[in-house]
Structure 1
Amino acid sequence: MTTRKLAVISAGVRVPSSTRLLADRLTEATVAALRERGVDADVEVVELREHAHEVLDAVLTGFPAPGLRAAVEAVTGADGVIAVTPIFSGSYNGLFKTFFDGLDDGVLAGKPTLIGATGGTGRHSLALEHAVRPLFTYLRSIVVPTAVYAAPEDWAGGADGVAPLDQRIARAAGELAELVAARPAPEVVDPFADPVVSFAELLGGR
Structure 2
Amino acid sequence: GGGKRAGGQRGRRRPAQTPGADVSARIEIPFQLAIDGGKTDVRVDRGGTGETISVTIPQGLPDGARMRLRGQGRPGTGGGPAGDLLLEVGVAAHPLFHRDGDTLELTLPITLAEAIEGAKVDVPTPWGTIALRIPPGTSGGRKLRAAGMGVRHTNGAKGDLIAEVQILLPDGADAAALERLLDAAKAAQPAVSPRAHLRW
TM-score by length of 1: 0.20
Name whichever structure is richer in strand by fraction: 2
Higher relative contact order, structure no. (Cα contacts within 8 Å, ≥ 6 residues apart): 1
Larger Rg, first or second structure (1 or 2): 2
Name whichever structure is richer in helix by fraction: 1
TM-score by length of 2: 0.20
